[in-house]
Amino acid sequence: MQIEKITRKGYSASLSKDQLWDIYKSMKTQRLLEDRLLKMYKGGQLSGAVYPGIGQEASMAGIAAGMDEKDIFGGTHRDLGVQIKKGVTLKEIALNFFGKHDGPSKGRDGNSHFGVVDKGTLMVVSPLPDSAPVAVGWALASQQSGSGVVAVANCGEGATATGTWHESINMAGVLNLPVVFTVQNNQFAYSSPNETEFGTPNVADRAAGYGIPAKIIDGNDIYEVIDVMHEACESAREGNGPSLIELVTFRHYGHAGHDPAEYVNEEVRDFWMKRDPIARFEDSLVDEGLFSTEQFVSLAEDLEAEIREALEWAKTQDDPDPSNEVEDMFADRTTPTISNDETNTKTMNYIEAITNGLDELMENDENVFMMGEDIGVFEGAFKATKGLFNKYGPFRVIDTSISEGGFTGAAVGAALAGKKPIVELQFYDFVYPALDQITTEAAKYFWKAGKSVPMVVRGPTGAGTRSGPFHSISPESLLAHHPGIRVVAPSNPYDAKGLLVAAVNDPNPVMYLEHKKLYRKPDLKMEVPLGLYEVEIGKGKVVRQGTDITLVTWSGMVPVANEAAEVLSKEDISVEIIDIRTIVPLDEEIILNSVEKTSNLCILQEDVPFSSIASEISSVVAEKGFWNLDNPILKVTPPNTHIPFAPVLEDAFIPSVEKVVKALKELQ
Question: 448-491: per-residue pLDDT in tens?
Answer: 999 999 999 999 999 999 999 999 999 999 999 999 999 999 99
Fold (CATH) for 345-529: Rossmann fold (3.40.50)
Based on the residue annotation, tell me whether 258 is a catalytic residue of this protein: no
Instruction: Report, as an integer, the average pLDDT of 240-264.
Output: 93
Average pLDDT over residues 112-134: 95
Q: What is the pLDDT of residue 100?
A: 97
pLDDT at 443 over 90: yes
Listed in sequence order, the residues at least 6 apart from 629 whose beta carbon sits closer than 8 Å to its beta carbon are: 595, 599, 600, 601, 621
β-strand partners of 308: none
Q: pLDDT of 589-635, one tens digit each?
A: 999 999 999 999 999 999 999 999 999 999 999 999 999 999 999 99
257 has pLDDT over 90: no
The pLDDT assigned to 259 comes to 85
Q: CA 295 to CA 301: how far, in whole Å?
A: 10
pLDDT of residue 3: 77
What is the architecture of the domain spanning 541-666?
Answer: 3-Layer(aba) Sandwich (3.40)
Average pLDDT taken over every residue of the chain:
96
Outline where DSSP puts E strands in 501-591.
510-515, 526-529, 541-544, 549-553, 575-579, 582-584
Catalytic residue from among 77, 230, 255, 471: 471
Q: Do 369 and 144 touch, CB atoms closer than 8 A?
A: yes
pLDDT at position 88: 97
Q: Band the pLDDT of 190: cuts 50, 70, 90.
A: confident
Q: Is the CATH number of domain 11-27+47-87+115-289 2.60.120.10? A: no
Range 159-168 average pLDDT: 95
What mean pLDDT comes out for the span 567-585?
Answer: 98
Residue 145's pLDDT band (cuts 50, 70, 90):
very high
Parse the chain into domains and list their residue ranges.
11-27+47-87+115-289, 345-529, 541-666
Say which range, 21-35, 194-208, 571-585, has the weakest mean pLDDT.
194-208
Task: Confirm whether pTM is higher than 0.85.
Answer: yes
- Picking from 448, 461, 668, 619, the residue whose alpha carbon sits closest to that of residue 554 is 461
- pLDDT in the model for residue 144: 97
Res. 170: pLDDT tops 60: yes
pLDDT at residue number 187: 84
- Sequence-distant (≥ 6) Cβ neighbours of residue 195 within 8 angstroms: none
Which tens digits make up the pLDDT trace of 512-563?
999 999 999 999 999 999 999 999 999 999 999 999 999 999 999 999 999 9
Per-residue model confidence (pLDDT) at position 1? 55
Comparing 11-27+47-87+115-289 with 541-666, is the CATH topology the same?
A: yes
Helices (H), 316-457: 350-364, 388-392, 404-416, 435-436
In Å, how far are 35, 36, 201, 303, 577 from 28, measured between CA atoms?
A: 11, 12, 32, 8, 67
H-assigned helices in 178-250: 222-237
Q: Which secondary structure element, helix H or strand E, spans residue 183, and what is its range?
A: strand 179-185
pLDDT band, residue 368 (cuts 50/70/90): very high
Residue 468: predicted pLDDT: 96
CB-CB contact of 202 with 267 (8 Å) = no
pLDDT in the model for residue 403: 96
